Amino acid sequence: HKKYAPVEPVPTFTRTWPDQVVTEAPLWASVDLRDGNQALLEPMTVEQKKQMWALLVKIGLKEIEIGFPSASQLDFDFTRWLIEEDQVPEDVTIQVLVQAREHLIERTFEALKGARRAVLHVYNSTSRVQRERVFDLDRESIAQIAEQGARWVQSYAARYPETEWVFQYSPESFSSTEVDYAVEVCQRVMDIWQPTPENPCILNLPTTVEVGPPNHFADQVEYFCQHLPNRESAIISVHTHNDRGGAAASAELALLAGADRVEGTLLGNGERTGNMDLVTLAMNLYSQGIDPKLDLSNPDEIIQVCTECTQLPIHPRHPWIGELVYTAFSGSHQDAIRKSLRRQGDDEPWQVAYLPIDPRDLGRDYQAVIRVNSQSGKGGMSFLLERDFGIQLPRWMQLELAPVVQAASEGIAGELDSQSIYELLVGHFIRAN
């Protein structure tokens, strides 16, 4: 049909990303307190921002975008609180967002006065739809907005020499921007900032709206990296949204394609369908043997703080940490898990059917893996009796008890616990005789 056009192809180039593998964790940046916050029905209070900040620091995020201080008094005050109350650990850098407009940039620098180190993140939108339908400006005028923004950032930074500044530029709507033009705009920004490999700037490439498949975004990122003069003087960052459900895939492929840094939020809160979920990508890498260098050992705390601060529930099937992720309801799955767990040695690579990782790595207890309900067969029931009571039922007893257990589960709403199964066993084989 003709209502929607497919994404424009990336110009021909020698693509290498399909042959690459990710071998180390990217630099992570959280945008929970900015992108995540701006998408909430009720923005976070100062207390909630403080709570989220503490969690992000505890998890090990080293770059944290804390808000949009020129647009929100609360964000301005929060920035001041972090700086004046000395809340930012030595190894953590705060980041703030601002549009390429002088009075907003001026106010942003006021908010950051006295910061030890800060990322000043300036952006303007570059896609064709934004140029033609929103701003009514041609390519040159949009490039000049970026250049002007870069100049203001540079000249205001010079007024605050006590702070170590890192400059970040985002061609907002990058994934809908002609990639050669995105290279040109970023190059013009870099010409002003004059970064070096020792003192690089950050170029952040967003799928502001995810309009294409993840492989297309990876092509855009690799093309951008290959064609950017002075590539070694820029940290290439990606900032993916989840409109097509591909935010984590886009970021993961972008790492193959040469990105160094990834922006996202815990559990994926953010505009519309959300930002890329940092937990998902970190765990994707972890499951490939890469240390994500984030402490995700207490997912319940992450869930608790995020739900308190965003007022958004987490789906029970959320990748890696949802409540139902390490459960198996079907009998054949339960049986396969039980058999593979028995054979799993402590020091050998994890190889358990239906469990992509060891739930204990996330502080989860794999004792909760097997649940018995009306859909599960003898495998789950036998597992629970063995695990909790040390009873190994012979096969003939399993066959006889399974229908009794299934009949009992039909009468209840949830699943049967091991005590109930034990009582059914006793009732059936002992009391009955």
- The identity of residue 39, as a single letter, is A
CB of 63 to Zn ion, least distance (A): 15
**Residue 35 annotated in ligand binding:** yes
CB of 209 to ligand KIV, least distance (A): 8
Q: Taking CB within 5 to 8 Å according to partner kind, which of Zn ion, ligand KIV, none is near residue 222? A: none
Residue 284 binds to ligand KIV (criterion: CB under 6 A): no
CB of 181 to ligand KIV, least distance (A): 16
Residues in contact with Zn ion by CB under 5 A are: 35
The residue number whose beta carbon is nearest to Zn ion equals 35
Residue (32 or 219) nearer to Zn ion, CB? 32
| Contact positions with ligand KIV (CB under 6 A) in 110-139 | 123
State the residue for tokens 């308190």.
308
- The identity of residue 131, as a single letter, is R
**Residue 275 annotated in ligand binding:** yes
CB of 281 to Zn ion, least distance (A): 15
CB of 242 to ligand KIV, least distance (A): 11
For ligand KIV, which stretch binds (CB under 6 A), given 21-29, 202-210, 297-305, 312-320? 202-210
Residue 172 binds to ligand KIV (criterion: CB under 6 A): yes
d(CA 90, CA 412): 55
Residue (125 or 376) nearer to ligand KIV, CB? 125
Residue 36 binds to ligand KIV (criterion: CB under 6 A): no
Residue 261 binds to ligand KIV (criterion: CB under 6 A): no
Can you give the chain as a three-state secondary structure string? CCCCCCCCCCCCCCCCHHHCCCCCCCEEEECHHHHHHHCCCCCCCHHHHHHHHHHHHHHCCCEEEEECCCCCHHHHHHHHHHHHCCCCCCCCEEEEEEECCHHHHHHHHHHCCCCCEEEEEEEEECCHHHHHHHHCCCHHHHHHHHHHHHHHHHHHHHCCCCCEEEEEEEEECHHHCCHHHHHHHHHHHHHHHCCCCCCCEEEEEEECCCCCCHHHHHHHHHHHHHHCCCHHHEEEEEEEECCCCCHHHHHHHHHHCCCCEEEEEHHHCCCCCCECEHHHHHHHHHCCCCCCCCCCCCHHHHHHHHHHHHCCCCCCCCCCCCCCCCCECCHHHHHHHHHHHHHCCCCCCCCECCECCCHHHHCCCHHHCECECCCCCHHHHHHHHHHHHCCCCCHHHHHHHHHHHHHHHHCCCCCECHHHHHHHHHHHHHHCC
Residue in 70, 93, 170, 382 binding ligand KIV, rule: CB under 6 A: 170
Q: Taking CB within 5 to 8 Å according to partner kind, which of Zn ion, ligand KIV, none is near residue 123? A: ligand KIV
- Determine phi and psi for 179, rounding to 5 degrees: -65, -35
Q: Taking CB within 5 to 8 Å according to partner kind, which of ligand KIV, Zn ion, none is near residue 131? A: none
**Residue 103 annotated in ligand binding:** no
Residue (206 or 377) nearer to ligand KIV, CB? 206
CB of 412 to ligand KIV, least distance (A): 46
Residue (93 or 204) nearer to ligand KIV, CB? 204
Residue in 49, 131, 239, 261 binding ligand KIV, rule: CB under 6 A: 239
Q: Taking CB within 5 to 8 Å according to partner kind, which of ligand KIV, Zn ion, none is near residue 172? A: ligand KIV
Residue 217 binds to ligand KIV (criterion: CB under 6 A): no
Residue 175 binds to ligand KIV (criterion: CB under 6 A): no
Residue in 17, 29, 30, 35 binding ligand KIV, rule: CB under 6 A: 35
Q: Which residues bind ligand KIV (CB under 6 A)?
A: 35, 97, 123, 170, 172, 204, 206, 208, 239, 241
Which residue ranges are tagged as binding site for Mg(2+)?
35, 239, 241, 275
